[in-house]
């Protein structure tokens, strides 16, 4: 069955530290990849997406993600986090049709 | 506010009762999705509508669950004979997609269901 695995459930960083959140999926065909973010008290919102083309995609607020097809990975990165990045981050994969599979999420806490 | 809205935001019910949730998508969006999210998990896909047609339905959606989108605008999700395992956050999302294409989903705030 198709699945999405996020390696870390909780991450604590100090401001200005670099961030990398891991995401791996299991599916051998064409995929569309997403990272969503949920800030405290807010709705899920799209951070960035990959459909095709350049495997390095840039999103809002300085986030980027790299699709590595051979590793079935779509890791999220940010060179310098801010306190306002404290949120829960979800990796998601759409494998055809319109069914989107989400990972379990990673809670990031950034210490000021 | 022109985002996705969901009502009610919270629902507490007794086991065995029926509940109905409503989702109002962003007005021009033709696609509507329902998800369920439990504590410590990401959203799980339940069903998808393109306009008024229900095109995909997860195996998670048992016979007790039914969703409608009668005029291609708002949608309802009904759970009959609720069970304690139905306790979760029910999320609705909508998107404006070209035919055959994937696009960004906009999520609502969710309805939190507690079954006692």
Asked if B42's CB is within 8 angstroms of A105's CB, the reply is yes
Alpha helix (H) ranges present in B22-70? none
In this prediction, residue A65 has a pLDDT band, given cuts at 50, 70 and 90, of very high
Cα–Cα distance for residue pair A26/A63, rounded to 1 Å:
24
Q: In Å, how far is A49's CA from the nearest CA of chain B? A: 8
B42 → closest Cβ in A94, A99, A102? A102
Q: For the segment A21-62, what is each residue's pLDDT rounded down to a tens digit?
A: 999 999 878 888 999 999 998 999 999 999 889 999 999 999
Whether residue B37 has pLDDT greater than 70: yes
Q: In Å, how far is A82's CA from the nearest CA of chain B? A: 24
Cα–Cα distance for residue pair B77/B62, rounded to 1 Å:
12
Whether residue B32 has pLDDT greater than 60: yes
């Amino acid at each position: 069955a198709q699945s999405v695995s996020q390696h870390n459930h909780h991450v604590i960083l100090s401001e200005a530290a670099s961030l990398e959140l891991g995401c791996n999926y299991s599916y051998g065909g064409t995929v569309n990849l997403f990272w969503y973010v949920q800030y405290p008290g807010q709705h899920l919102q799209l951070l960035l997406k990959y459909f095709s083309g350049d495997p390095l995609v840039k999103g809002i607020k300085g986030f980027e993600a790299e699709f590595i097809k051979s590793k079935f990975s779509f890791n999220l990165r940010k060179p310098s986090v801010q306190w306002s990045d404290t949120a829960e981050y979800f990796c998601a994969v759409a494998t055809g049709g319109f069914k989107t599979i989400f990972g379990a999420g990673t809670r990031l806490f950034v210490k000021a | 506010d022109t985002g996705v809205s969901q009502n009610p935001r919270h629902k507490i019910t007794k086991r065995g009762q029926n509940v109905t949730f409503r989702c109002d998508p962003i007005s021009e969006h033709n696609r509507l999705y329902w998800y369920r999210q439990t504590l410590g998990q990401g959203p799980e896909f339940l069903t998808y509508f393109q306009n008024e047609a229900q095109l995909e339905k997860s195996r998670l959606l048992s016979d007790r669950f039914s969703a409608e989108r009668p005029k291609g605008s708002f949608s309802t999700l009904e759970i009959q004979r609720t069970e304690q395992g139905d306790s979760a956050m029910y999320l609705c999302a909508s998107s404006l997609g070209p035919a055959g294409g994937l696009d960004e989903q906009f999520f609502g705030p969710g309805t939190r269901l507690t079954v006692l």
